[in-house]
Amino acid sequence: MTDININVHQVTRVEGHGNIVVSAKDGKIEELRWEVPESPRFFEAMLRGRHYDDVPFIASRICGICSIAHTTASIKATEAAFGFQPSEQTLLLRKLLYNAETLESHVLHALFLAAPDFLGVGSVFPLVETHKDVVVMALRLKMLAYNLAEALAGRKTHPISCKVGGFAKLPELSELEALRGRLENALVDLDTTVELFKTLSPSIPDFTRETEYIALTDPKEYAFISGQIGSTDAGVAPLDKYLDVTNEFCVPHSTAKYTKNKRDSYMVGALSRFNNNHEQLLPRAKKAAQELGLSAPSHNPFMITVAQVVESVHAAEDSINIIDKILARGLEEEDNQVKVRAGRGIGAVEAPRGILFHDYTYDDKGILTKANCIIPTNQNHNSIQKDMDALVPLILSRPQDEIRLTLEMLVRAYDPCISCSAHFLTVSFK
């Protein structure tokens, strides 16, 4: 066998900076690393000493793609610390806003970041010539998701109206009605997307590695912003036990921390959610899963993207249901005064890429004194490494370029959000 020397510096079409290093001599693997050299951003330093009203606003800036996830987790952690219960109206609006991000993030990943690999091109730009309809459709879906978020929170990236206690401004019912119409059209577009991925499925590498799958789980619905910690190995754990589940540790070649629970590593994200909660998917989403040949449990990380397509259908369907509920009950200005008290709270949400924890401690003036976050991609770095460890020996005889592309596709499948994952360092001051 020829020698292998792969050094992918800053994988493209992923958020953040990650490197793939593989070297082999005479069929023997010498180096095989997934490296995360991302700049640490010290978010704990940014949040300490901040007033609770500013905390979600700053926490949003952890990530531009999942800013709604971070904002929501931050708000939940703060409300939990103060013992505040949001109103039913607030919860409906939050879920709707959340669906906008799930939809946008998954569409962006599936069609703009992952699909080019399956269609043999380097990016979505050449597809404007060859697959114009698909690109137009993808942009249309993205725009709808943005507009839905804008109607609820003023802006999708770093949302504005959502704050601790509720929403600073309510959407117009007429706007929601119009968006509902567009969501109906989106379901048709998503059907087209499902068809497209059906044609691409022969190109999906057939690789499986069984591992532990962790996701939020809620008996009432397919969980995104509610519930407790579910695991395919271990059953359900309450949120305040999250540290026992995640067990962060340091690794020499990464500025991000890694995690493990019952096994050497575990996976979070769309596939984990699917494996834990697939029964609770809404009807159209379930049908999409069937069409795409996705059934639980699925142990092929390359199917994460497929699970994201299924969740997109679910998000659109769920949004229509929520809008119908809101239109029926109407919207009312609420006096969402929050009473500040000293305390600690944990907010957990399912970001598009997986389970996200924000853990805050406040003093009696509402000033944050301590914060800890566990980012979904943190939790996937170890899984990526273990997948590479299992996959590379199986493809070592292939041409180097093919190995490289397959490993890049593996990383891309996880839809990693690397710059968020390297944000955090637990700092104690002596």
Partner 1 sequence: MKPKVAFFDFTGCEGCQLDALHLDAGEVIDLLNAVDIVNFREVMTERSDDYDIAFIEGSITRESEITRLKKIRDQAKIVVAFGACACIGGVNCLKNHLPMEEALKIVYGEDARYYDTIPARPADAVVKVDYCVRGCPPVTSELLKVIKALLLGKKPDIPNHPVCVECKMAGNVCVFERGMTCLGPVTRAGCDAVCINSGRHCWGCRGLVDDPNVDSEKEVLQKYGLTVEQVVEKFKIFNTYAEVAK
Our finding on whether 57 is near partner 1 (CB under 8 A) is yes
Q: By C-beta, is 30 or 363 nearer to partner 1?
A: 363
Site for partner 1 in 11-50 (CB under 8 A): 12-16, 39-42, 45-46, 49-50
Length of the chain in residues, anyone?
430
In whole angstroms, the minimum distance from the beta carbon of 65 to partner 1 comes to 6
- 423 — phi, psi (to 5°)? -80, -25
Q: By C-beta, is 234 or 425 nearer to partner 1?
A: 425
Distance separating alpha carbons of residues 412 and 195, to the nearest angstrom: 21
**Residue of 21, 29, 119, 139 interacting with partner 1 (CB under 8 A):** 139
**Residue of 102, 193, 226, 255 interacting with partner 1 (CB under 8 A):** 255
With contacts defined by CB under 8 A, name the span among 201-209, 282-290, 373-381, 421-429 that binds partner 1: 421-429
Q: By C-beta, is 15 or 350 nearer to partner 1?
A: 15
**Residue of 5, 27, 31, 51 interacting with partner 1 (CB under 8 A):** 51
With contacts defined by CB under 8 A, name the span among 95-103, 146-154, 288-296, 302-310 that binds partner 1: 146-154
Distances from the Cα of 331 to the Cα of 170, 171, 319, 328, 337, angstroms = 7, 8, 16, 9, 18
**Residue of 1, 188, 250, 390 interacting with partner 1 (CB under 8 A):** 250
Classify residue 334 by burial, with Cβ atoms within 10 Å: 0-12, 13-18, 19+.
Answer: middle
Our finding on whether 268 is near partner 1 (CB under 8 A) is no
With contacts defined by CB under 8 A, name the span among 51-59, 179-187, 216-224, 305-313 that binds partner 1: 51-59
Contact 176, 148 (CB under 8 A): no
Q: By C-beta, is 112 or 266 nearer to partner 1?
A: 112
Q: By C-beta, is 1 or 178 nearer to partner 1?
A: 178
Distance separating alpha carbons of residues 99 and 68, to the nearest angstrom: 10
Our finding on whether 10 is near partner 1 (CB under 8 A) is yes
Our finding on whether 124 is near partner 1 (CB under 8 A) is yes
Distance separating alpha carbons of residues 355 and 69, to the nearest angstrom: 10
Q: Which of 121, 113, 134, 272 is nearest to 190 (CA)?
A: 134
**Residue of 116, 227, 354, 376 interacting with partner 1 (CB under 8 A):** 116
**Residue of 1, 143, 243, 394 interacting with partner 1 (CB under 8 A):** 143
Our finding on whether 401 is near partner 1 (CB under 8 A) is no
Our finding on whether 101 is near partner 1 (CB under 8 A) is no
**Residue of 112, 360, 362, 424 interacting with partner 1 (CB under 8 A):** 112
> Does the CA dihedral 56-57-58-60 come out positive or negative?
positive
Our finding on whether 249 is near partner 1 (CB under 8 A) is no
Distance separating alpha carbons of residues 261 and 273, to the nearest angstrom: 17
- 57 — phi, psi (to 5°)? -60, -40
With contacts defined by CB under 8 A, name the span among 158-166, 179-187, 193-201, 205-213 that binds partner 1: 158-166
Q: How many residues bind partner 1 (CB under 8 A)?
A: 60
Our finding on whether 339 is near partner 1 (CB under 8 A) is no
In whole angstroms, the minimum distance from the beta carbon of 45 to partner 1 comes to 4
Q: By C-beta, is 60 or 298 nearer to partner 1?
A: 60
HEC readout, 325-342: HHHHHCCCCCCCCCCCCC
b/e sequence 215-236, b meaning 16+ C-beta within 10 Å: bbbbeeebbbbbbbbbbbeeee
User: 71: which residues sit within 8 A by CB, 6+ positions away?
Assistant: 56, 57, 59, 60, 158, 159, 162
**Residue of 18, 34, 56, 67 interacting with partner 1 (CB under 8 A):** 67
**Residue of 87, 146, 198, 205 interacting with partner 1 (CB under 8 A):** 146
In whole angstroms, the minimum distance from the beta carbon of 364 to partner 1 comes to 17
With contacts defined by CB under 8 A, name the span among 25-33, 133-141, 323-331, 373-381 that binds partner 1: 133-141
Distance separating alpha carbons of residues 10 and 5, to the nearest angstrom: 16
Q: Which residue's structure tokens are 């754990």? A: 237
At what angle are helices 88-107 and 67-82 packed, to 10 degrees?
150
Work out whether strand 368-374 and strand 166-167 pair parallel, antiparallel, or are unpaired. unpaired
Long-range contacts formed by 224-229: CB under 8 A, 24+ apart: 224/95, 224/98, 224/99, 224/102, 224/349, 224/350, 225/72, 225/76, 225/94, 225/95, 225/98, 225/349, 225/350, 227/348, 229/348, 229/355
Which positions lie near partner 1, rule CB under 8 A?
Answer: 10, 12-16, 39-42, 45-46, 49-51, 54, 57-58, 61-65, 67, 108, 112-113, 116, 122-125, 128, 135-136, 139-140, 142-143, 146, 153-158, 160-161, 163, 167-169, 250, 255, 419-420, 425, 427, 429-430
